[in-house]
Amino acid sequence: MMWLRRTACLCSIHCILITAVVIWSSVFFYLSFSLYGLQPKGKDVNEQQTLALNYEQALLNLAKVKDENEKLRKMLEAVNMMGRKKLTMGKRDSYVKINSEFKNKEERVNREKNETSLFPSSNGFSLKHELLSLLGQAAAFKNVDSESWRTNALANISARFQNYFDKMQNPDDCKAAKILTCDLNKPCGFACQLHHVTYCFIVAYGSNRTLVLKDDGHKWNYAANGWTTAFLPVTKCSFSEIFKPNEYAADWGISKHYWDKRIVKLSIIDSLLHPIPYLPLAIPRSYSDELLKLHSSAPAFFISQFIRYLMRPSAVFAKEIDRAVKKVPFNKGPIVGLHIRRTDKINTEASFHDLTEYMNWTENWFRIEEYRTQSSVKRRIYIATDDPEVFNEVTM
């Protein structure tokens, strides 16, 4: 009832305003015609004086009408503001209502799990296996037509990228080349820092510059001896030798002024004021036709080329990798790798996930593989984790 009364009140206000506007319009037209008829047409002096007085009175009336018009305008604005305020309150109420659908956090989490699951529990056991079977059969279609041509084509593109990077990162004259410097030590974890350097590398590629790590990455907080402890140098140009006398690195920018600077330093992506057009998910136009035809995720393939170049292992690290690979029985069948990150990530950037969640998806993969190969597949998993307690959860 209160809402109805408020609606009726608003309607009444509108009716009054409309009536006032009509009256004002009538007065305006009346005065306009009156003024039109006040033009002197050879009348005597007394008549002209009378007309002059009437003219002055008409001007006063017009001034009053103008004031009334201003009042009407303000009243209309006030009514419109009431309508907008009511709409805003409606949105806020809807938001509260949505949250109130869940009795507690656990109920909300369970609902989200069901909504995001590939196989909702309500669909039943048979539907899950039917879907897995279809996925397996779809994966088997690639055996009908040899995949070697696609693999070879992508390998060729990858080789072209790597060759270009090698030339780009090793110019003939480091003191004449255009340089982009990047500080390796972004205050975050290893993967985050690798993403940061990759972003710097992509910007260097897009702006036709050579990427040079600040201090050559020697002060990397992940290794006492710096970047080259694990990976090959990103360039032959030394950070200390790229500068000419009295030369310094200018801050990065996108205008022609910055483009002409020989050495620029790139800040972390979080602090960029202007978007850079060639950052992900952008890909070079010169490669777009090929990549879109050959790869299901062209941006992912493009980004991977930069990471591949950056993560070329040093001689010492390569030996460690080979030693670890020999311990894994890759020749005995497929192995599902699980990266289970916990410790510092829990309740900060991620929530806790029990091992059974990982194993459910692992089992789905093995079932699809069995449907694809039409044969039994032995379950093998490789777990990489920062939490030793995970191994106590494993049941074979």
In tens digits, what is the pLDDT along the chain, a chain of 396 residues? 434 334 444 455 555 555 555 555 555 555 555 544 544 444 455 665 666 666 566 666 666 656 655 665 565 555 445 444 333 333 332 212 223 343 444 544 454 454 445 554 444 456 677 777 777 777 777 666 667 888 999 999 999 999 999 999 999 999 999 999 999 999 888 999 999 999 999 999 999 999 999 999 999 988 889 999 999 999 999 999 999 888 989 888 777 777 889 999 999 988 887 778 888 889 999 999 999 999 989 999 999 999 999 999 999 999 999 999 999 999 999 999 999 989 888 888 888 888 999 999 999 999 999 988 999 999 999 999 999 989 888 865
**Residue 94 domain flag:** no
What is the residue type of 225?
N
**Exposure on the CB side of residue 51, measured as CA atoms within 13 A:** 15
**Residue 188 domain flag:** yes
**Residue 43 domain flag:** no
**356 and 263 in a common domain:** no
What is the model's pLDDT at position 270?
A: 86
**Residue 176 domain flag:** yes
**167 and 253 in a common domain:** yes
**385 and 341 in a common domain:** yes
**258 and 165 in a common domain:** yes
Q: Which residue reads 């990455």 in tokens?
A: 217
Close Cβ partners of 154 (under 8 Å, ≥ 6 residues apart): 294, 295, 301
Backbone angles phi, psi at 85, to 5 degrees: -65, -40
**Residue 178 domain flag:** yes
Backbone angles phi, psi at 213, to 5 degrees: -75, 140
What is the model's pLDDT at position 16?
A: 54
CA distances from 127 to 87, 131, 140, 354 (A): 44, 6, 20, 25
* CA–CA distance, 196 with 182 (Å, rounded to integer): 9
**158 and 301 in a common domain:** yes
**356 and 283 in a common domain:** no
Tell me which of 306, 340, 360 is where a domain ends.
306
What is the model's pLDDT at position 274?
A: 78
Structure tokens at 372: 């694809």
* CA–CA distance, 385 with 391 (Å, rounded to integer): 9
If you count them, how many residues does the chain have? 396
Tell me which of 272, 306, 340 is where a domain ends.
306
pTM: 0.65
**Residue 42 domain flag:** no
Close Cβ partners of 111 (under 8 Å, ≥ 6 residues apart): 102
242 DSSP 8-state letter: S
**250 and 158 in a common domain:** yes
* CA–CA distance, 177 with 208 (Å, rounded to integer): 10
What is the model's pLDDT at position 95?
A: 19
What is the model's pLDDT at position 183?
A: 94
Structure tokens at 252: 């990065």
What is the model's pLDDT at position 27?
A: 52
As for how many domains the chain has, the answer is 2
Q: Which domain holds residue 243?
A: 147-306
**235 and 382 in a common domain:** no
**Residue 256 domain flag:** yes
**268 and 172 in a common domain:** yes
* CA–CA distance, 264 with 69 (Å, rounded to integer): 60
Are the C-beta atoms of 214 and 239 separated by less than 8 Å? yes
Measured over the CA atoms of residue 224, residue 225, residue 230 and residue 231, the dihedral's sign is positive
What is the model's pLDDT at position 90?
A: 34
CA distances from 34 to 25, 31, 44 (A): 14, 5, 19
* CA–CA distance, 127 with 120 (Å, rounded to integer): 10
**268 and 366 in a common domain:** no
**283 and 184 in a common domain:** yes
What is the model's pLDDT at position 161?
A: 97
Structure tokens at 196: 């940061």
Do β-strands 179-182 and 210-213 pair in parallel, antiparallel, or remain unpaired? parallel
**Residue 261 domain flag:** yes
What is the model's pLDDT at position 73?
A: 58
**206 and 345 in a common domain:** no
